[in-house]
Structure formats: C-alpha cells, structure tokens
Amino acid sequence: MSRRSKIVLTSFGTVVLLFLFFFHGCDHISEETLAFPPPLENVTVHTFATLEWVTRPSQRIGIHLKQQSDIKQLVDLRVFGDFQPEMTDETATAQFGKPVQTRTDDFGATWSRYSTPFGYVEIGLDRRTSLSDDDDNKGPVPGRRSLRAYTEKSPSKVFRSPLLDLLDQAEKKTPRAEDREVDFFNSEHRLILDVSVKKSRITHMELFRHVDR
C-alpha cells in the first residue's frame, strides 16, 4: 500500500471516529422505571443530555401517587406554610396580611412574597408564553395562579426518607447530573408538585393543587 493510500485511509478513519464520537454525544436520552415500596411504587427516571461529552446530563423523575395525600409522606409541606395554589392576592392579604415584598416579572405579572417557617413563598400569575409563539403575537395572557416555595434548608430537612432514598439512587445512576426535576402526579395523572434540585440544593418548589396540611 502506498504512502498516499495510508494517509487517505488514516484520514478517513479519523473522520469516522469523530463522527461517531459527535453523534453519540449530541443527544442522549434514556428512560428507566424503578420499583419502590409505597407510596412511591413505580417511578420513571428520564435522563437527557445534549452534547453529552461536553455538558452535564439532567434528570426528570416522575412519581405517580395512588392517593394525593401520600405526598405528605414524601415532602414536608411546611415549606409552603398555610398557603394554597388557588389563593388570590386578596385572599392571601385577608388571611396573612400584607406581603413582605412584591415584584413584577418580565411578563407583567405581580408576585407577592410571604415568609414561611422554611423560607418564603411567592403567589402570583404565571404568564409565561410558549416558546413556539410568534413574537408579533406575544403579549399579556391570563395566566394561572401559582404558588412557589423557596428555602435554604437542605433536602434532608424538607424531603422524607422515601424521597431521599429515591434521589440517592438517581444520583448513583447518573452522578454527573447536576439538575434534577421531580414531578408528583395524582391517580388522574395530574401534576401536584414540581421540585427542582441543583447540585443537591432545592432551587424552588411549585404546588399546583390544593393539599390539606
């Protein structure tokens, strides 16, 4: 084989390896179902990475509860104080007084902040528009009532043992993931609670349905 042929073959092999390396790293999606004792039972874990060899993967964990009240066995709801997601600003003011702080977001919605035993909550309208909307058609939308909780406490102070065990297994399966989102659904597959965890810290929690304390 001539020297020129060897160079061509080597170059071709390098291109193929680079292509396979890049293709493998572009988008990597995996889904796994884990079995736990009640109230967790079957839990789905989605792991997603874009350019996996450059960026860190993220995880989305779906928990489907047989009883909505089971969520109290997984999360200490004192993080939300005595607030409920359906509360209006007028209702919150009547029950808890004036908020300690108010702010207006980029979509024109006003958020009221109240202190809780674990940190604070914000009540307001989520008016975020869809990313698929045309810029010309974007504008104020009615939105939906939203109750979000923020805390500096560690997950071990907010999450119950079953949920901590689940997060521990998820971390062992994908140790490079820094962002984890945990969604809790009721028996009708409707979202109850969304929790975002980054670098083992709770960034925020959002309650979507009324849950008695």
**Domain residue spans of the chain:** 26-207
Burial 156-173 (b: 16+ CB within 10 A, else e): eebbeebbeebbeebeee
DSSP 16-57: HHHHHHHHHHHEEEEEEEEE-STTT-EEEEEEEEESTTTSPP
Asked if 57 and 177 count as a contact pair (C-beta separation under 8 A), the reply is: yes
> Could you tell me what percentage of the chain is helix, strand and coil, using 3-state DSSP and rounding each to the nearest 5?
30, 35, 35
Asked if 158 and 79 count as a contact pair (C-beta separation under 8 A), the reply is: yes
| pTM confidence score | 0.77
The pLDDT value given to residue 174:
84
Per-residue pLDDT of the chain in tens (213 residues, 90 and over written 9): 565 554 434 554 444 444 444 444 445 677 888 888 889 878 998 887 655 444 678 899 999 998 999 999 999 999 999 999 999 999 999 999 999 999 999 888 899 999 999 999 999 988 765 443 444 444 444 678 899 999 999 999 999 999 999 999 888 888 888 899 999 999 999 999 999 999 889 999 999 999 998
The pLDDT value given to residue 114:
98
The pLDDT value given to residue 157:
96
Structure tokens at 212: 């008695």
Quote the CA–CA distance of 70 and 66 in Å, as a whole number: 8
Beta bridge partners, 58, equal 48, 179
